[in-house]
Chains A and B, each alone.
Chain A
Amino acid sequence: MTMTDTPTALNRLGRLMVDRPLLPLIGLLILLVAVLAVLNPGVLSMFWASNTLKIAIPLAMLAACQTLTMLTGGIDLSVGTVATIAAYLTATLSPLIGVPPAFAIALASAVLIGLVNGFGIAICRVHPLIMTLGTALIATGCLLVYQRYVIATGVLIPDFLLWLGTGRSFGLPNSLVLFIPFAALIIWAQRRSGFGRLLYAIGANEATARLSGVRVWQVHLTLYTLSSVIAGITGLLYLGQIKTASLSLALPLDLPSVAAAVIGGTSIFGGRGGYGGTIVGALILTVLTSMLTLMQIPEGGRRILFGLIILAVTALFIRLTERS
């Protein structure tokens, strides 16, 4: 039953994917870009690259929420809603009470949603998927009520967010100013902080973590709150990028954020993966989406494809881990 028994191509690929997930992913990304270049000669340019980066960054940030929660075997389907709420609150409150208080309220509501998620998942042990879906539903209701009763004045998108979301410096999107430190922090924390390591430990074997003295609920509560905060910040960035405050601003990013993490090699069962892969996953999805748009594949086809990718990658991981 050892892996050396039958060194099939699948086995070797599997080992590669487990050991160095970034290599095949980057290969796939390059391949997709090449296909795109063949389909549409002349599309590749510095501007194109910068634009792709700009579009990929909010997706990659929401996918950070999925990566972190998936490391423990969970998921957070409320991130799109949280991002939308944070963005909407900022845009509508800024003209009323000024930008910094609006930021504070936006992030406070993100924290609140995260705490509710954390409570349900950590204390009541509701499955994360059901719990986050439920809070998303309630939070959306709250946003609609807020929209009906509170909004009277106009919408103001702070200049700072516009600069961050749409501006360019030296040919590169300004959002990198936020994203590079963010990504560096996550990648550092997942391996070199106690909290990050515990995420892997809980996902790899919750019973072991418990027997080692980890109070799992504390980790879950912190994790889902953190996830919500990241989603809230992403919402602010996305507001600067899209430049309108809509009630469904970031909702279309929910599903791709899960797909980006899964493609990036993070196991949906936990214990395996990391944010480096997720970033490449987000880039792959962005390139793939522009390719599908180019080929005029409708939204429905895109969703089917995303669903099948999640299923196929997960099934592949199960087969690979069963073998060893």
Chain B
Amino acid sequence: MKRWIDANAWTLGLAVLLAALLLATKIIQPGFGASGLDSLARAALPFALATVGMAIVVIAGGIDLSIAAMMAVASVTGAVLMDGATDAQSVVIVLGVLIVGLAMGAINGVLIVVSKVPDIVVTLAMLFVWQGVALLILNAPGGAAAAWLRALSAGGVPGLVWLPRAVVFLAMVTMLIWLPIRRSKLGLRLYAIGSDPLAAFRSGVPVGQTRIIAYALCGLFAALGGLAVTMSTGIGEPIPGPYLLASVAAVVLGGVVLGGGRGGIVGPILAVFILRTVRMDLTLLSVDPNVAAIIEGTIMVAVVMFGAVLATRGRTK
């Protein structure tokens, strides 16, 4: 038990911080309740999914700058195809969008492994490419989302009004995809190539293949994130949102070390909710939303700077 607490001290600390922030929210706004939680969770959902995707590549020792652009592609693809589609069709469409996400991520990964160009350059170039693709599919926000899809993240769970559906959705998706991987050998391999690629190679890990899988998973979560955008707005968004910086910041704050090998998924998700709650509290304190954006940006940059200092220290030790 003590060992478990030691190993997860950072995550536990984040959970306590989040609880404290929610408590503070309740004090600021005594009326804060189920609907407040619901809108918080719904706003956090795309960020959380992007963060899970980013966390996976960072754990595997990479980074994916094109994540927000891939979300935009997924969002517009889904919205354009669902416009006027039946419920049955839309289920197929959603699955198709997820496959598109996997494919986009895999393309990023293959390009990195085959071209030997560093991940940061490849994904920067692909950021532009996916942005272009999204614009080609849909020039301005538009399209539609199936009603059942929108219902997935709106409101509370029947009988448990305090529990937002968006949280349930996030938990289910993450557990369904990440948990089996984490428990399997693939999970070990992802951590292994991030921790020490040479030792991983010597231990018989297929390094290139594992790296491609990491990027494909990131693409899958980006697609989920893009769908989440469509879920909450009901339309497709061709212009990428601020998900890149936000996901990197949440990953770092969540205890995943830039450079790879260390950290988990729960920490970054908690970090997303912490950042969103701060944003919400600023709004509740009637801080101008633009000022709130500045504060949020400053927090994120500070977190990334702090993380970089830690990463440099770790390397020289």
Do any beta carbons of A and B sit within 8 angstroms of each other in the complex?
yes
Q: Is the CB of A134 within 8 A of B294?
A: no
Considering the chains assembled together, what is the distance between the CA atoms of A304 and B137 in angstroms? 12
A129-B120, A298-B135, A311-B115 given as contacts; is B125 within 8 A of A134 (CB)? no
Contact assessment for A311 and B122 in the assembled complex, using a CB-CB cutoff below 8 Å: yes
Q: Tell me whether A141 and B308 are in contact (CB under 8 A).
A: no
Given contacts A126-B305, A130-B304, contact A301 B127 (CB under 8 A): no
Residues from chain B with a CB closer than 8 A to the CB of A125 are 308-309, 311-312
Of B116, B126, B297, B306, the contact of A137 (CB 8 Å cutoff): B297
Contact flags B235-262 to A (C-beta < 8 A → 1, else 0): 0000000101100100000000000000
**B283 on the interface (CB 8 Å rule)?**
no
Q: Which residues of A contact B65 (CB under 8 A)?
A: 129
| Interface secondary structure of B, over-half rule | helix
In the complex, the answer to whether B121 meets A304 with C-beta atoms within 8 Å is no
Q: How large, as a class, is the contact surface on chain B? A: 35 or more
Q: Measured between C-beta atoms, what is the minimum distance from A100 to chain B in Å?
A: 28
**Cβ of A310 under 8 Å from chain B:** yes
State A138–B306 Cα separation when bound (angstroms): 17
Task: Please judge, given known A-B contacts A124-B305, A134-B297, A134-B301, whether A148 and B290 are in contact too, CB under 8 Å.
Answer: yes
The distance in angstroms between the C-alpha atoms of A255 and B129, with both chains bound, is 11
Q: Which residues of chain A (129-164) have a CB below 8 Å from chain B?
A: 129-131, 133-135, 137-138, 141-142, 144-145, 148
Residues of A within 8 A of B248 (CB): 130
Whether the pair B245, A314 counts as a contact (CB closer than 8 A) is: no
A303 touches B135 (CB 8 A): yes
- Does B293 count as interface, using CB distance less than 8 angstroms? yes
Tell me if A196 is interfacial: C-beta within 8 Å of chain B: no
Within residues 279 to 317 of chain B, which ones have a CB less than 8 A from any CB in chain A? 288, 290-291, 293-294, 297-298, 300-301, 304-306, 308-309, 311-312
A179 contacts chain B at the CB level, 8 A cutoff: no
Name the contact of B125 in the complex, choosing from A138, A145, A301, A311 (C-beta under 8 A): A311
B36 sits at the interface (CB 8 A): no
* Chain A, residue nearest B308 (CB): A126
Complex interface: chain B residues within 8 A of A133 (CB): 244-245
B136 and A298 form a contact (CB under 8 A): yes
Offer 25 A-B interface pairs, CB within 8 angstroms, sorted by A: A124-B309, A126-B308, A131-B301, A133-B245, A137-B245, A137-B293, A144-B293, A145-B294, A255-B128, A269-B118, A298-B135, A300-B132, A303-B128, A303-B129, A303-B131, A303-B135, A307-B129, A307-B132, A310-B128, A311-B126, A314-B117, A314-B121, A314-B125, A315-B115, A318-B115
* B interface with A by C-beta (< 8 Å): 65, 111, 115-118, 120-122, 124-129, 131-137, 139, 242, 244-245, 248, 288, 290-291, 293-294, 297-298, 300-301, 304-306, 308-309, 311-312
Given contacts A133-B244, A135-B301, A300-B137, 9 further A-B contacts (CB under 8 A): A131-B301, A134-B301, A137-B242, A268-B121, A269-B118, A303-B135, A306-B128, A307-B125, A311-B115
What residues of chain A have their CB less than 8 Å away from a CB belonging to chain B?
Answer: 75, 120, 124-127, 129-131, 133-135, 137-138, 141-142, 144-145, 148, 255, 268-269, 298-308, 310-311, 314-315, 318, 322
